[in-house]
Every structure is written in structure tokens, then in C-alpha cells.
Amino acid sequence: MTQNKGFTIIEILIVIAVAGIAFSALLDFSTLSLKNSVLVKETYQANYLVQEALEVARNLRDGTNWETNGIGSFDVDTAYHSEKTLEEFPKWQLVAGTETVGIFSRSLVFERVSRDADDNIEMIFNPPNEDTNIRKTIATVSWNKRGINHSVELFLYLTNWKE
């Protein structure tokens, strides 16, 4: 009889140890899932901010003269961000520098574009073939979470469609 009691206590200790290990693994998994869901939420927010920046650039392109105060007049390879004017009917405008929105940093950069002999856009800018009626527009949103840098970047080509 005493031998059975000893084995029962050992069995109970083994069950407690296995249950503790399983509980620890479940806790680690749920912590990881929670961290990932926060990162997914932030990535969605960053995507919306990037899309908004590109929409502002489109809106500016559509509502202004390309060379005078529009896309063609902005310095290339310079970071800009959007702001509303202080007029009675506010409009979007681009201002030099990056913008901070909550935990995010947002910028919009214009790059020159060149075309090859077949009129296709070249991936590497070639000054003699510059197309002055098109700009590559790159919107970037970045943020830092627990010491890790994250970013979302989208680009589009804006053309001087009024020409």
C-alpha cells in the first residue's frame, strides 16, 4: 500500500510539471500573438497614411499648374509633407520636411524620371533622357517599435496630364 501512495505523488508531480510547461507555452504564444496583432494594426495605419500622402500629391497635381506651383516646381530628392492652408476653404499644400503623426513619421519625395529610346521609363535616372512632364512620387511612413524600425513605402508616377 505504501508503494502505491509514493507512485501517486510522483504521478501528480509529473502531471503538475507537464501542465506548467504547457501553460508556459500557451502564455508565450498568446504574448507573441498580441505583439503581432499590434504590429499589424500599426502597419494598417501606416498604409493609410502613405495612401493619404499620395492622394494629396494627386490632388495638388490636379488643382495646380505643373511648373508654376505644382509637382514640377518642387525640388527633387527633398522630403515634403502635407498641410492644409489657413484659407476660408482650406486646400492641401506641400511643405518641406517630414511630418510626425502619432508614432509615425511621414514624408513625400519627388524624383526625376527618364525614358529610354522605346519611350519606357528607365529604372536608373539618365539625365539626357529626362521627361520633365512626369515625376516619381514616393511616400514613406516609418515608426520605431521596441527598438525595431518599421516602414511602409509606396510610389506612383504623376504626369502633367494637362499637357
Residue extents of the structural domains in the chain: 2-159
Statement: residue 28 has pLDDT above 50: yes
pLDDT of residue 10: 82
Q: What is the DSSP string of 112-135?
A: EEEB-TTSPBPSS--GGGEEEEEE
Statement: residue 6 has pLDDT above 70: no
Bridge pairing between strands 148-159 and 104-114: unpaired
- Number of Cβ within a 10 Å radius of residue 35: 12
Q: What is the pLDDT of residues 108-151, one digit of tens each?
A: 999 999 999 898 998 888 888 999 899 999 999 999 988 999 99
Length of the chain: 163
Give the confidence band of 5 by pLDDT, cuts at 50, 70, 90: low
Q: What is the pLDDT of residues 48-89, one digit of tens each?
A: 999 999 999 998 888 888 887 778 888 999 999 998 888 888
Q: Is 12 left (phi over 0), alpha (psi -120 to 50) or beta?
A: alpha
Q: What angle do CA 137, 139, 144 make, to 5 degrees?
A: 155
Do 112 and 141 meet the contact criterion of CB atoms below 8 Å apart?
A: no
Give the confidence band of 2 by pLDDT, cuts at 50, 70, 90: low
What's the pTM?
Answer: 0.76
Count of CA atoms in the C-beta half-sphere (13 A) of 139: 24
In this predicted structure, which of 10-19, 39-48, 112-121 has the lowest mean pLDDT? 10-19
- Number of Cβ within a 10 Å radius of residue 7: 9
Write down the residue that cell numbers 517599435 correspond to.
Answer: 145
**Mean pLDDT for the chain overall:** 87
User: Helix, strand, coil proportions of the chain in percent (round to 5)?
Assistant: 40, 35, 25
